[in-house]
Structure 1
Amino acid sequence: MRIRQLPETLANQIAAGEVVERPASVVKELVENALDAGAGRVDIELEEGGVRLIRVRDDGGGIPPDELPLAVSRHATSKIASLDDLEAVATLGFRGEALPSIASVSRFLLVSRTADAAHASALAVEGGQLGTLEPKAHPTGTTVEVRDLFYNVPARRKFLRAERTELGHVEDWLRSLALARPDVELRIAHNGKPLRRYRGGGSLFEDGRLEETLGAEFARQALRIDHSAAGLRLSGWIARPAYSRASADQQHLYVNGRAVRDRSISHAVKQAYADVMYHGRQPAYVLFLELDPTRVDVNVHPAKHEVRFRDGRLLHEFVYRTLQGALAETRAGLGAAVTSDASSPEPSAASAFAASWTGSGQPREQSHLALRVDELRAGYAALYGATPAATDGGVVVGHAMPDADERGIPPLGFALAQLHGIYILSQAADGLIVVDMHAAHERIGYEKLKAAHDSEGLRMQPLLVPQTVAVAEREAEVAEREAAVLSELGFDVSRAGPQSLLLRGVPALLAQGDTEALLRDVLADLREHGHSRRVSGARDELLSTMACHGSVRANRRLTVPEMNALLRQMEETERSGQCNHGRPTWARFTLPEIDRWFMRGR
């Protein structure tokens, strides 16, 4: 066949195949244009999930009448004029493909008015064919109508889903936009009925918008993030590990205000949560990454869903370290409503309790829910010289907690009893704390083992007989290029041929495992992400197992000093809100909750 120029309409329809996947894609492009035009309010009206009608009205700057035909022609934009503009583009839209692509597969109407115009102008486009400009009444701003999407491309139309499904995709994208732009009011209607309204005029980090979009539980469990370094800034919210999802439906990433998907950043987030979340569960987050526009290429995907970073390795490490540091502060008891401004018990008292927590020897006999008087007396005396109240027959019938105004109460309170040999019951300032003693002790032991090994570094164990490892040529090149990184990870490896490596040393702690498979996994990570935490991950898995076996077991009777020592160590240990497997270690029941159980005050 001879080479020939494609007709304009056909070229636009091919572009529509890249830009317009479904009604949600049309809504995305039109609303982004409205935001770039400075809109403070955007109204979106849909019929039949957007297949029959999509109408987007904004109060932005509008388009002059003589530029309307240009707006629906290919590669026409007001956003960029040179390569320098493209490298530093900060607007959401800039390719000039959206409007002509949409107009080529629908019955399209564009109405716009600028502030200085006497009236608006309207331009209709059907199947890619332009109509004539006509005057029309319209306030300042722009309205775009898209009717009968894919009416002239039946092969594309039959791939659309049910009305409810297509509407769901539109709602998901608008929810994502609402998170990033709380300053803009968004109103959505479907089949003539108001569906949702996101109020405008807010600021980015108002908790109200977070609750409005992702729900009250996410807002309650969210940790605020705001960290800057090396010309990068990461801000937003991450959910506590206890709030996890079966899918990635609450993972929102914005790069310079643009919602994107990026495998490298997703990998960094997943690694940051590795120590505190169930296998197979997904973290929830809303993260805003800000960096110099010249350090990110936004022109790598027709629909602008993906970006490419110039310093991918630095960025991955920055995100990982920031989130890991924030999650490390999720200690048990943090955020508890302590009713006193006084300080916690003296450090020496806490240290005395910690010293008593040895895990050896047999504790004194006690009933499941009652403690012996001498144990209570010894425990309180060690803390603050107080003695429990009167007893009857060796069973505690009441004891005086320290005055919160004078002593203060630690976040996890003071131990009352051991329940069924599994749980510790503790009275806190605002209610009752229940602690899973095995899970809590497991995390404490695990963090201690990690700290000890981190202080020593990864030691390498030389092999008596060097091993030849067969790898792909790309992996051999990575091993040769990243020899210094591999050495830091405990591997002594050199290239022996085009597709082989010579392994002379391995990480000492993992020498008994499958070191060849571990090396291949590390090389794969280095090739894809520029670095690897396979070694530290394998090490942590081993240390986690050691901590699990070394922690206190169910039905091990604890004394009051031992229980209080465990509570104090939980308050000091990083990530103590979850055990090594991601299970919660503690729960709080506030007094109002307990009052509701018994209908008090009704």
Structure 2
Amino acid sequence: MPEIRRLPEELVNRIAAGEVVERPASALKELTENAIDAGARSIAVRLASGGLDLIEVTDDGCGMSPAEIALALERHATSKLPDERIEQVATLGFRGEALPSIASVARLTIESRPGAGAEGWRRVVDHGAVTEDAPAALPPGTRIRVERLFGKVPARRKFLRTPRSEYAACLDVVRRLAMARPDIGFVLEHDGRKTLAVQAGEELAARVSRIVARELSEDGVVIDAQRENARLTGLAGLPTFNRGVADHQYLFVNGRPVKDRLLVGAVRGAYADMLARDRHAVLALFLDLPPEDVDVNVHPAKTEVRFRDPAFVRGFIVGALRQALEAAGQRSAQTPSASGMANWQVEPASATPKAPSLQALFAREHSMPQARVGESAAPWRGLERDLIEPSARVEARGETTDDGPTDFPLGAARAQIAQTYIVAEADDGLVIVDQHAAHERLVLERLRAAGAGDAVARSQALLMPEVVELDEPACDRLEERAEELAKLGLAIERFGPAAMLVRAVPSVLGRSNAEALVRDIADDLARHGDALLLGEKLDLVLATMACHGSVRAGRSLSVAEMNALLREMERTPRSGQCNHGRPTWVKLAHEDIEKLFGRK
């Protein structure tokens, strides 16, 4: 058996550095968090070569005396815990853990001055060895320099990425911490160029929109919810303001930036019926809980946390987000893009002019997701009778085309283009509506509202029950949810090991394809597995039903039917986007139209 021996202190620090200091961004995070914990009101960061050659963090916090500097460079020494109750930690970092670890793999210089009447001091540690300990001249606060990270550990240095990639990671760290503390000013300089500068004392929403995306101030909703001892604040983008990757989701717990799977899943659940599967919401959420309800020490870098009651946290986040998005009403990130407007302004040079495509109005920089498979199926017929008011149905028979009032938010219908888009005139501009996207949202909200009614009244029995063949796991998942599906009007039962029998479908869906509906629901349940709560799974089912039961593109509508659709949109929450995150309508203001013709 090999001999058991105690490792040298230098090697222990290098092993610890491997857990805490993975790359320059990891060291920068620890140093910046220390500056925040020191009570700084202004933090300046300088980087060279993405932090590979230099990381410098300067703050105007409380500073440290020479004895405190020496103690901070020892392992397991910290100013963050007033007693032994580690679960009560309310600060971001552990100074005694990060500094000796960084000093063991780089040249670390600490300069600090605790107050105006005190003396400044400098201590230099080069890869674990103290090389300088002397007075220093500097204003009150602390300045820490990290040079040649992993300079004497080539095995670690060669696994670092390019300076550009390392800088991107460092920028992300500073952005997250700057969002978490709008009361602190931050400046980031890279290779002599200032890349980020925010002033202290900003409002949270202003700081978030400044850092994440300026459009978020207009295309987002403010979150401020309270439940028991938990509070959720922040800024969440409208579903139509989305991205193809999830790197614009910033999550914080008690002021600490985290990348937690439970929180990410809660965000995905809240937007489940409003975004396509390959699109992601843009938001910054700040969750505040009592310290004893969250464990922040489950990860060395403290980027993951563990909640005492994860179901409560998830339900709280999902409910708060949905309530805020529903309160947004018909709002949508639907302003035509500059490229779309340019398509209207340029006259074709060819001999046969070609009209610009109306779809250009929907082309935003965060591109529109693709429609769900099956949206090009044969036109659905008959569902509009459930949508149109009785008076509108009478008017439809006469096919009246009177002007009608235009003082509604979405105006009065004037025409239908390509049997897909409704053109309406409002008092303040021209409104264009995607009839399928709009009706899909309306059907979903009707299905939700019908959830408290009588299932029998909402079910339409099939003349001949339909057999749907699936694999056995899919049948198992559907069988587990059969009772909940029956409450929604979809009656199914097991028909052998690998088949389901469909006896009834929701009456609101009309003549829908029962087989395609059941297959899509099975796919939704398989994709999200047990990660979603039952209510969220049922929302996915409703979204799938709505897609199958809505008016398709290519369906000719009368003027009365178009107006009925517009009025229903105005009464329906979240009608500004369909279930896949696409905008349901766009508006050309009078000023935009005047610009097209050179009047302005």
Fold similarity call, TM over 0.5: yes
SS of the residue aligned with 1:376?
coil
The aligned residue for residue 299 of structure 1 is: 297
Q: 1:49 maps to what in 2?
A: 50
Q: Report the residue type matching 1:148 in the other structure.
A: R
Q: Look up the match of 2:468.
A: none
Give the superposition deviation at 1:268: 1.4
Q: Give the equivalent residue in structure 1 for 2:232.
A: 234
Q: CA deviation at 1:241?
A: 0.9
Q: Secondary structure at the match of 1:412?
A: coil
Alpha-carbon deviation of 1:517?
7.0
Q: Residue 584 of structure 1 corresponds to which residue in structure 2?
A: 583
The alignment status of 1:12 with 2:13, answered yes or no, reads yes
Q: Compared with structure 1, are the counterparts of its residues 591 and 541 closer, same or farther at alpha carbon in structure 2 (3 Å cutoff)?
A: closer
In the alignment, what sits opposite 2:596?
Answer: 597
Q: Once the 2 structures are TM-superposed, how far is the Cα of residue 7 of structure 1 from its aligned partner?
A: 0.9
| Residues 9, 104 of structure 1: 8 Å contact kept | yes
**Distance in structure 1 (CA, Å) of the matches to 2:124 and 2:37:** 22
Aligned to 2:370: none
Secondary structure of 2:243's aligned partner:
coil
Query: 2:408 corresponds to which residue?
Result: 410
1:32–1:590 distance in 2 versus 1, CA, 3 Å:
same
Deviation per CA, 1:272-321: give whole Å up to 9, x if none: 11111122111111101111111000011111101100000111111111
Structure 2 partner of 1:543: 545
Which residue in the other structure is 2:401 paired with?
Answer: 375
Correspondence for 2:273: 275
Tell whether 2:137 aligns with 1:102. Answer: no
2:97 maps to a residue whose letter is: E
| Contact 2:334–2:583, Cα closer than 8 Å, also in 1 | no
Q: Is the 1:518–1:534 Cα contact (8 Å) retained in structure 2?
A: no
Q: Mapping of 1:206-225 within 5 angstroms?
A: 207=206, 209-225=207-223
Give distance in 2, aligned partners of 1:518 and 1:281. Answer: 18
Tell me, what secondary structure is at the counterpart of 1:543?
helix
Q: Does the CA-based 8 Å contact 1:46-1:189 persist in structure 2? A: yes
Instruction: Check 1:352–1:275 CA distance in 2 against 1; reply closer, same or farther (3 A cut).
Output: closer
Aligned length: 516
Instruction: Tell me what 1:445 maps to.
Output: 443
Q: CA RMSD in A?
A: 3.7
Equivalent-residue separation in structure 1 for 2:65 and 2:193 (angstroms): 32
1:79 aligns with 2:76: no
Q: Which residue identity is paired with 1:375?
A: T
What is the CA distance between 1:182 and its match in structure 2? Answer: 1.7
In the other structure, the counterpart of 2:176 is 176
Q: Mind listing any 5+ residue stretches in structure 2 that lack a counterpart?
A: 336-385, 462-470, 488-496, 507-513
Of 590-599 and 107-116, more deviation after overlay is shown by 590-599
For 1:88 and 1:308, the matched residues in 2 are separated by 14
Q: If the length of structure 1 is used for normalisation, what is the TM-score?
A: 0.77
Give the AA of the match of 1:10.
L
Distance 1:119 1:454 in 2: 72
Cross-structure match for 1:497:
none
Q: 1:486 to 1:522 in 2, by over 3 A?
A: farther
SS of equivalent to 2:138? coil
Q: CA deviation at 1:534?
A: 6.7
Once the two structures are superposed, residues 516-545 of structure 1 have per-residue CA deviations (whole angstroms, 9 ceiling, x without a partner) of 9789959951xx56x334751463145224
Residue in structure 2 matched with residue 397 of structure 1 by the alignment: none
Give the Cα separation in 2 of the matches to 1:92 and 1:54.
Answer: 19
Identity among equivalent positions (%) equals: 42
Aligned equivalent of 1:346: none
Match of 1:83, SS?
coil
Q: CA deviation at 1:489?
A: 7.7
- Structure 2 distance, partners of 1:507, 1:259, is 50
Tell me if the contact between 2:241 and 2:282 (Cα under 8 Å) persists in the aligned partners: yes
The higher radius of gyration belongs to: 1
| Residues 15 and 58 of structure 1, relative CA distance in 2, 3 Å threshold | same
> 1:567: how far off?
1.1
CA offsets 1:222-270 (integer angstroms, 9 cap, x no match): 1111111122111111111111111111100011111001111211111
Q: Distance in 1 between matches of 2:199 and 2:62?
A: 21
Give the CA deviation at 1:362: 6.1
CA contact (8 A) 1:108 1:124 kept: yes
Query: Which runs of no fewer than 5 residues in structure 1 stay unpaired?
Result: 338-350, 365-373, 381-400, 402-408, 462-468, 477-482, 492-500
Task: For residue 441 of structure 1, report the CA deviation from its aligned partner.
Answer: 2.2
Amino acid at match of 1:24: A
